[in-house]
Amino acid sequence: MESTNNRNKEEDEQGSKTRLDNRQTMVSSALRELVGRPEKRDGIYKTIEASYFAGHRSTIREIEEREELESRGINPDFDRVVFRKDLRKQAILNDVWLEKSYLDDKKLRHDHAKAATSENDIYENPDGKTLTKVNNLSHIKGTEHKINLLAFIDRLAAHNILFPNVAYDIKGFMDNKQGFTSMVMEQPYVNVSRNATQEEIDKYLFNRGFRLEGKTLKYWTNDVYIIEDARPANVLKGKDGNLYFIDTVPHSVEYFNWDIR
């Protein structure tokens, strides 16, 4: 008679396999919305698939050391340098690495280091219709479900579905101005009138079926997606009168409710 332990082990293994398949399906589906060029889609998928666990390290640390690192916003079980090196290696291997010359015909409009913002260097493209964003992947803080590379992909895919008028197109990977391996994306240029007011943002989201939730940290949700950081600094009002959500933080509820234990 089969033992309970054996059955539990088989169930755990099957569950892990199912969750891995779900993860791969989710990434593949998301990238269809995020990579416009079919000839690059496979390479970008393989790069992301091979890199989302990079940087994980099992270390034995004293409690005080762990607490000190965590107080500085450093994950004691994640090595960002290793993650970036592996991502760069995979991007080169899969022919989606971009050299610095990719930016030669583009004009720098926003230097994130000088402006003390967290993520993007922004370049205006010569067509006058699009911008290139070089994202330093600072939101990736570990290999855990909600802070890894897949969470970042889910965020971009959710953005494209919710805000198609400023959708992202992943172009590849390159070193940014500081020499950090980054993701390169293209986004439509917005002819800006001003930043949206909070009242305009709230009305827009409410009229589209979102509600505001949360106590300390507020977020909008429609039970399919959540949107964080929906504030005037991240939403533009175009000269055409439309709102453009350029730097909010959306996610699919499905991804964040998905049990990966």
- Structural domain spans, the chain: 7-190, 191-245
What is the tens place of the pLDDT at every residue in 173-222? 999 999 999 999 999 999 999 999 999 999 999 999 999 998 888 999 99
Is the pLDDT confidence value at 47 over 60? yes
Averaged over 105-116, what is the pLDDT? 86
Q: E-strand spans in the chain? A: 107-110, 120-124, 130-135, 169-175, 181-188, 192-195, 211-213, 219-221, 225-228, 235-238, 243-245, 249-252
Identify which of 68-72, 109-113, 219-223, 257-261 has the greatest average pLDDT: 219-223
> How far apart are alpha carbons 49 and 113 in whole angstroms?
29
Question: Which of 108-122, 147-161, 221-235 is predicted least confidently?
Answer: 108-122
**Structure confidence at residue 128 as a pLDDT band (50, 70, 90):** very high
Averaged over 236-244, what is the pLDDT? 96
224 within 8 A of 250, measured Cβ to Cβ: no
User: Is-above-0.85 flag for pTM?
Assistant: no
> How far apart are alpha carbons 126 and 105 in whole angstroms?
7
Question: Which of 33-47, 163-177, 197-211, 247-261 is predicted least confidently?
Answer: 247-261
> How far apart are alpha carbons 76 and 74 in whole angstroms?
6
Is the pLDDT confidence value at 3 over 50? no
> How far apart are alpha carbons 165 and 44 in whole angstroms?
23
The per-residue pLDDT of the chain, averaged, comes to: 82
Q: How far is CA 49 from CA 114, 138, 201, in A?
A: 32, 18, 35
Identify which of 42-56, 67-81, 112-126, 154-168 has the greatest average pLDDT: 154-168
Question: Which of 15-19, 94-98, 161-165 is predicted least confidently?
Answer: 15-19
Averaged over 94-105, what is the pLDDT? 96
Backbone angles phi, psi at 121, to 5 degrees: -90, 135
142 or 190, which is more confident? Answer: 190
Question: Which of 52-61, 160-169, 197-206 is predicted least confidently?
Answer: 52-61
> How far apart are alpha carbons 74 and 70 in whole angstroms?
5
Calculate ∠ Cα 81-45-97, nearest 5°.
55
